[in-house]
Amino acid sequence: MKTEPVHQGRLESPFYSRLKALDTVNEWHQWKGYTAANELYCADTEYFAIRNATAVFDLTPMTKYRITGPDACAYLDRLVTRDMTRLAPGRVAYAAWCDDQGHVIDDGTIFHLRDGDYRLCAQERHFGWLQTATIGFDVTVTHESDDVAALAVQGPTSYSVMNKLVYGGLDDLKPFGLKHLRFQGNDLMVSRTGFTGDLGYELWIDPSQAEALWDALFDAGREFGIRAIGTDALEMARIEAGFIAVYREFLPADETVRSGRARSPFELGLGWLVDFTKPNFNGRRALAAEMRNGSTWRLVKLDIEGNKPAGDAYIFPKRSRNRHSIGFITSAMWSPVCKKNIALGTVRAPYGKPGDTLWVEIYYQREMHWSRKMARAVVVDQPFWLPERRRATPPGPF
Amino acid sequence: MTELAGGKWDAIVVGAGHNGLVCAALLAQAGKSVLVLEAEQQVGGAAVTRELTEGFSVSPCAHLLYQLQPEVCKELKVSPTLACEDLATIALSRQGNHVRIAGNAVTGVTGADAEQFRRFRKRSLRFARLLRGVLNRAPPRLGTSDWRDVLSLARMGFDIRRLGRDEMREFLRIIGMNIHDEVTERFANPLLRGAICLDAVLGTHLGPRSPNTMFTYLYRLAGDGGRNAVPRGGMGMVSAVLAQAARSAGAEIMTATPVRQIVVENGRVTGVETEAGELFSSYTVISNADPKRTVMRLVGARHFETGFIKRVHHLRSHGNAAKLHLALDGLPHVDGLAFKDFGERLLIAGDEHYVERAFNPAKYFEFSTAPVIEVTFPSIHDESLAPPGKHVMSAVVQYAPFALKDGWTEASRQRFLDIAMTTIAEYLPGLEQQVIASELLTPADIETQFHINGGHWHHGELALDQFLFVRPVSGAAQYALPLDGLFLCGAGAHPGGGVSGAPGRNAARTILKRERVR
């Protein structure tokens, strides 16, 4: 009997050859079994491609599940906190799913590809939970992470790039919409989604077509400043957009050990995703109780004075540190595009209402010596970066 | 039929098993309008009497009364007539050296064994009383700050502590242990060891060496000190008395009305729909059906959350006990057994190894080739069950796994019937010549005939990990399921199976208490 050799070491994405060709710094890490670039030449420059031109990010290692069967909609509706019955074919929904205790297992996007045929994308793997959730439903969950190659094409000129790539037809594609197109005789799915808080698209194609798509995309994008980016640049854009990330703002509930370390959607600023008009969904009873009794934690977006990034800082209610800290920073950066010192953090409720002033304790090093600074931090309720074009249809050229 | 039929009932009980009847009666006594819907023609569920063949009747599922709670009888003012109150147990020997156990006394063994048994029994009863204390209360919830839960938990701890230091240690030492170790340490007589082992594993998917068989043994004693009674008119009479109590308290009982589904609207129970398509409304539906059937089939997994469904899905609820019924032209002559001895509980369990070996095939989804058997001849005490001079036999035959490897077919049932008959003939020679009619009910038959998923007596394996705070599963151990208005009142709920009425009574009390709190 002939056996397939078992792959050893990190997998290479179908775009690996193209990324490797552009790579000058050799900074890679492991992402869900794949090797992924931290940066290809310079994270800061790559970041400016996201904000000023078009950035291309390989998101093939993202976890993807295909959900099909007569009960697919009912299944998803019970799984996530949002109302899935209203997600029409050709639409995408950002959603979070919880365990019975109302703690977030993960968040992700659900693509209603065709009638009753869904794709769920997430950062982490959740096959066990998704499989368990099928009990009592006529539905099939298939792991297809390795069977779909995916690229994020993000930035102000991405509309122009895409228009050139697929010869138009994207004018009516609204945010969180998707379209099935043809690319060189093969299926190409394009969705207007992304993780940068800006105008952008995600492209989904069979891995065999990956390199051809990449080449055509870069041909189309040359005049629009297209650049490949790594995860470091994307992380900066993610914080500016105010998006939460797993292992930063929260841990998957099924991976926490200590009591109180998991977070509910309310505690992550995702209360808007929780639809109590649905009679039943995972976590509903616990979340209803939390609505009545109040949450323990609150996610805050902070606009901090000064220019020293507040990474890992403690948060205090007053400038004097005599009081106990009320929380901590989970993600922080100096935002070049906002010209602001921004951060995401977790504080104990009821602290952290929009407009509140909190204080963060920032440590920084100057020529070996450490200094400390208490910096004023104002809680804001809007994303730090929210350009008009993100929501405009058609977005138009830049 | 009252004018309420199509309107709103205070409560609807699905299934008129003995627990459903107890629950309905207690709710009706409290002034509630209660409707009980039963799939079969007669009430009783697994506690019924039915005709085996013309002139002969048996209790086709439960056949001995050993756990009916005095609290239930007292509150409902019922007292089923008993044909015999306290059966002795006789462990059969092929050579005629039977061992007879009656209360504390054992005959047919050495003086040392008899003395040892007296001590063993005394201590077992003491521990069983401790269990009895929890049978008639809803288990407290863990991890709450509700004073009732804390108090109830404290009382449980106090009861254990009150045993005294040495006895408490002993209790905690043995409660998770297996019965095999206990009996081999104590007794020299193999029949005595076998009989105790059989009592510990009857109706379970456990062998004498399985963990927590000491607990299942104590559970059997907890109800009524392990006294076995034969109700006059069979088990169906017990159910009839309970149904009468429910009716006179004002409950409506509709038989031959199988329920298709429990109706859920907007995340809460609003009534039931019968197979005939009739709708009955109530914001309180109490299921006497087993937890799996209730959750997965009557309501549907989609109305619950995933973690809870996972626990219900994994609930161990496959039965292992078959029932054998014989109509007999007469009784054979057996060495060492007088005529009246046939009226006692006769056990076929040579020793602890015999029981364990009988269990072995069940682990691999095969039936025992030398089964353990509990034989009763109820007609000795109750002549209404058979024509004059003739008799009926009702026996529990283990192990016959529900999920038989090749499925329960007519052929496999016949094979197991032959095995059971051969085994009985070894101990009661001549019985096979007296057989007029026979019937073997496998767990698969019990599932279809008595509507119990998996055909398990207890609706769910009785074991420490499915007991008390976690019976049937955590999140449903206080009779209320995690769906507003839905409750359990059957053997799957705390404390478990046996014709005790305890789950039904506890469920009714819980429902009434919740109302008062609200």
Q: Hey, are the CB atoms on B307 and A282 less than 8 Å from each other?
A: yes
Return the minimum-mean-pLDDT range out of A47-56, B215-224, B242-251, B413-422: B215-224
Nearest to A37 by CA among A22, A52, A55, A54: A22
- Between A323 and B468, name the one with better pLDDT: B468
Q: Hey, are the CB atoms on A78 and B313 less than 8 Å from each other?
A: no
Helices (H), B213-351: 213-224, 235-248, 291-292, 306-313
Identify the three-state secondary structure at position B38.
coil
Which residue in chain B has the smallest CA separation from A79?
Answer: B306
Cβ contacts (< 8 Å) between B313 and chain A: which residues? 135
pLDDT category of residue B4 using cuts at 50, 70 and 90: very low
Q: Which residue from B267, B307, B310 is facing A280, i.e. has the nearest CB?
A: B267
Question: Is the Cα dihedral A336, A337, A339, A340 positive or negative?
Answer: negative
pLDDT at B12 over 50: yes
pLDDT category of residue B518 using cuts at 50, 70 and 90: low
Q: Which of B142, B265, B299, B305 should be substituted to probe chain A, the one whose Cβ sees the most A Cβ atoms within 10 Å?
A: B305
Closest approach of chain A CAs to the CA of B433, in angstroms?
A: 50
pLDDT of residue A1: 63
Tokens linked to B456: 């398990």
Q: Decide: B205 and B461 in contact? Cβ < 8 Å.
A: yes
Q: Hey, are the CB atoms on B303 and A279 less than 8 Å from each other?
A: yes
Cβ contacts (< 8 Å) between B261 and chain A: which residues? none
pTM of the shown model = 0.93
pLDDT of residue A343: 98
Q: Hey, are the CB atoms on B308 and A100 less than 8 Å from each other?
A: yes
For range A282-302, the mean pLDDT: 97
For range B99-111, the mean pLDDT: 95
Q: Which residue from A99, A100, A137 is facing B302, i.e. has the nearest CB?
A: A137
Rounded percentage of chain A residues whose pLDDT exceeds 70: 99
Cβ contacts (< 8 Å) between A133 and chain B: which residues? 306, 309
Which residue in chain A has the smallest CA separation from B303?
Answer: A280
pLDDT at A3 over 80: no
Q: Which residue from A71, A99, A279 is facing B307, i.e. has the nearest CB?
A: A99
B388 touches chain A (CB under 8 A): no
Q: Which residue from A101, A135, A281 is facing B313, i.e. has the nearest CB?
A: A135
- Between B63 and B145, name the one with better pLDDT: B63
Q: Hey, are the CB atoms on B305 and A279 less than 8 Å from each other?
A: no
Tokens linked to B286: 């109490």
Q: Which of A281, A282, A287, A293 should be substituted to probe chain B, the one whose Cβ sees the most B Cβ atoms within 10 Å?
A: A282
For range B251-266, the mean pLDDT: 96
pLDDT of residue B180: 97
Closest approach of chain A CAs to the CA of B239, in angstroms?
A: 34
Q: Hey, are the CB atoms on B303 and A132 less than 8 Å from each other?
A: no
Q: Hey, are the CB atoms on A279 and B308 less than 8 Å from each other?
A: no
Mean pLDDT rounded to a whole number for chain A: 95
CA distance A234 to A239: 9
Range list of β-strands (E), B331-449: 345-348, 372-376, 391-398, 435-441
Tokens linked to B366: 């095969």
For range A118-128, the mean pLDDT: 96
pLDDT tens for each residue of B183-192 = 999 999 999 9
pLDDT of residue B7: 65
pLDDT of residue B107: 95
pLDDT at B147 over 50: yes
Cβ contacts (< 8 Å) between A284 and chain B: which residues? 267, 305
pLDDT category of residue B2 using cuts at 50, 70 and 90: very low
B6 touches chain A (CB under 8 A): no
- Between A76 and B475, name the one with better pLDDT: A76
pLDDT at B237 over 70: yes
Closest approach of chain A CAs to the CA of B402, in angstroms?
A: 21
For range B212-220, the mean pLDDT: 94
Cβ contacts (< 8 Å) between B300 and chain A: which residues? 136
Q: Decide: B271 and B279 in contact? Cβ < 8 Å.
A: yes
pLDDT tens for each residue of A138-158 = 999 999 999 999 999 999 999
Q: Hey, are the CB atoms on A136 and B300 less than 8 Å from each other?
A: yes
pLDDT category of residue B1 using cuts at 50, 70 and 90: very low
Neighbour tally for B250: CB within 10 Å: 16
> Nearest 5°: phi and psi at A37?
-80, 130
pLDDT category of residue B146 using cuts at 50, 70 and 90: confident
CA distance A38 to B152: 57
DSSP assignment string, A239-272? HHHT---BTTTB--GGG--STT-S--TGGGT-GG
pLDDT of residue B226: 78
pLDDT tens for each residue of A38-59 = 999 999 999 999 999 999 999 9
Q: Decide: B78 and B241 in contact? Cβ < 8 Å.
A: yes
pLDDT of residue A340: 96
